[in-house]
Each structure stands twice: as C-alpha cells, then as structure tokens.
Amino acid sequence: MELKWLEDFLELSTAGNFRIAAQQRCVSQPAFSRRIQALEAWVEAPLIDRTCQPSQLTNAGKLFLPVAQNILDCALAGKKDVQILLKEDRGKMRFSTHTSLAHIFMPAWLKSLQHLIEANQFVVKTNYSTIDDYFDALADNSVDFFICYESPQYGFQDSKEIFSSLKLGEESLVAVVSPDENGAPRYWLPDAPKEPIACLHTLPKSSPSPIRHHMENKYSNLVFKSVYDSSISPTIKAMAVEGFGLAWIPIGYIADELEKGRLVRAAEPKDDIFVDIKIYRSSKYNDPRVENFWQVLLELSVS
C-alpha cells in the first residue's frame, strides 16, 4: 500500500469525479483509476460506487475514509518529526571516547577547533565497554568519531580496514599509588615486589586500553591482583588516592594529585606508558558535516 493511493482516495471522496480528482492529483485519469483499483485490491473491498454520478463511497469506502485520513495524518506527522530530528542531528558531531579523554582532552581540543568548523553541538559518549563496541558504534553510524589512547606498538587498525585514523596528540599513562606514612610509594615496581600487587584495572583482551599490553610485557614477572573494576576514570583515580591499589592514569589527569602528594609514582618516568591520542572514523559514511570536520583535521595534521 502506498500513501499516494490514500491521497487519491481522499481527493476522489471530495471531488466525486474521477476526471476532476485526477486533475487535482496531477495524474492522467487512467493512471488515477489504476491507483484507486490498487487501493481497493489492498483493502480487498470496493471503495467507490462507479454506477452513479457523482461517484459515491460504498459502505466499505465510508468505513475506510477516516482510517485513510488517520493513516495519512500519522505518516506525515511522523515524517515531519523525523525531519526535525535529522535536522537537529545534522548540526551535531557525535564522538565516543574514554572518560579520561572526555574529561581532560575533549573540552580544550574542541574549543581549539571551533573557529575552523561549523558544528556547535557535540555529543560525547563514554558508555562503551570494549574496543569492539567502540568500532561497532562507528560501523553502524551511532557515532561519527572514536577518540582513544592507542599504543604505537599495538594498534587497533589491523583488522579494521573500513576505518581511517589520525593522530591528534600524545599522552603518558603513569603508574601511581597513594603514599605510605613516610610519603613513599606503597609499591615500587622496579623492585619487583614479591607479594601480589593490588591493582585497579581489570583488563580483558577486548579492552581498548594499552595498559594490558604494558602489564603483560613490561611486568610479566609481577603478579597483579585486581581489587576494583571500573571503566570510569574519576573513580579509578579516587580509589587510588584512597589507597586501594595501583593504577595507570593519564598524567594530565593526575597532575594536581602528584603535585600535592596525594598520589606518587610507582615506577620511573621512563617506565610510563607512552601512547598516541588517535581519532577514528568509518570510511563507509560521507556525510558532509563529517567530511568537512575530517578535512579540517587532515589539514591540521600536515601543517
């Protein structure tokens, strides 16, 4: 069933004449008649009594008339609502990222771009759990971009041919703990503590964090015992400050805690995890707002 059949039927019910109704609908009379017949075939009942002039609605036609009007009104109202929503969405740039990046990187970065881009509405989602979830959101167009920490040695893109990426910056993740009563770190990783180390990371292989690779390679001789599980950076930092265990946290996120001694390093600076800040997009979608934003990033990356 097509909406134009309903519009034809409503026009005919008002005009009472096939020729006049066809003119009003800007279609030939034979084509108009065929569309009315197609609607009657769909309803499985004659809607028009063609034996009298002007034509009249049959009992089935009278019953169907308000239904046709209601279907058409609902469809047009729904279309209008969708168009309004799409218009609003076209003005938004949709990002997914880790909570730490949403807090310490995104605000200043977006501010620095505002004079170069047209978008002034932003959506930042941090509720994805695994790296596959983030890339799935890109693949199904739930978000436009994914911004993440990525180890230069262990990238995400090997099996993600449909995605493009750019490097936006660099960051270091610092191993930190709360100090003991003497201000010294509760754990000092270079000393290779013999007892299990309370750790604030539970990192499955699907985790988007480069911390897992670092723990498995740099500290394969150590035993880490996960005592807390959260993907929310503020809670990880708070638990570290309260002495629950060791965590690798972006240095920009804990600068104040390090300066005031609420957290201390648990390893030498050379043992930090040095990561890139990368942005990914899906190559399947070429929405102009996404393309324009990407072109700005490309130009900045080569300048």
User: What is the share, in percent, of the chain residues with pLDDT greater than 90?
Assistant: 48
Residue 159: is its pLDDT beyond 80?
no
Q: Identify each DSSP E strand in the chain by its residue range.
A: 48-49, 56-57, 92-97, 121-125, 145-150, 163-177, 197-199, 224-226, 247-250, 264-265, 273-282
Question: What type of residue is 60?
Answer: A
Q: What is the pLDDT of residues 44-102, one digit of tens each?
A: 999 998 888 888 999 998 999 999 999 999 998 888 888 766 666 666 889 999 888 99
Q: 103: closest CA among 121, 120, 124? A: 124
Query: Tell me, what's the pLDDT at 209?
Result: 67
Higher-confidence residue of 209 and 93: namely 93
| CATH 3.40.190.290 domain extents, the chain | 92-298
Question: What angle, rounded to 10 degrees, do the helices at 29-43 and 3-15 form?
Answer: 110
pLDDT at 160: 55
Q: Check residue 47 and give its pLDDT.
A: 92
Give Cα 267 distance to the centre of its chain. Answer: 36
175 has a pLDDT exceeding 90: yes
pLDDT at 38: 92
Work out the pLDDT band at 151, boundaries 50, 70, 90: confident
Please state which architecture CATH assigns to domain 3-89. Orthogonal Bundle (1.10)
| CA angle (24 as vertex; 22, 27 as ends), nearest 5 | 45
pLDDT of residue 303: 67
Strand partners, 175: 248
Which range of 74-88, 129-143, 182-196 scores highest in mean pLDDT? It is 182-196
pLDDT greater than 60 at residue 206: no
pTM: 0.65
Kindly tell me if the per-residue pLDDT of 271 is higher than 70. Answer: yes
Is pLDDT of 210 > 90? no
Residue 17 has pLDDT above 60, yes or no: yes
> Please, which pLDDT band fits residue 41 given cuts at 50, 70 and 90?
very high
Q: Which of 134, 116, 132 is closest to 124 using CA atoms? A: 134
CA distance 138 to 150: 17
CATH 1.10.10.10 in the chain is located at 3-89
Rounded to an integer, what distance in angstroms lies between the CA atom of residue 145 and that of residue 147?
Answer: 7
pLDDT tens readout for residues 230-253: 767 788 899 999 999 999 999 988
C-beta separation of 135 from 280 below 8 A: yes
Provide the 8-state DSSP code for 116: T
Report the chain's mean pLDDT, rounded to a whole number.
87
Q: What is the pLDDT of residues 101-133, one digit of tens each?
A: 998 899 999 999 988 887 778 889 988 877 888
Q: Is residue 282 within 8 Å of 141, Cβ to Cβ?
A: yes
Is the sign of the CA dihedral 170, 175, 177, 179 positive or negative?
negative
pLDDT, residue 246, reads 94
CATH code for residues 92-298: 3.40.190.290
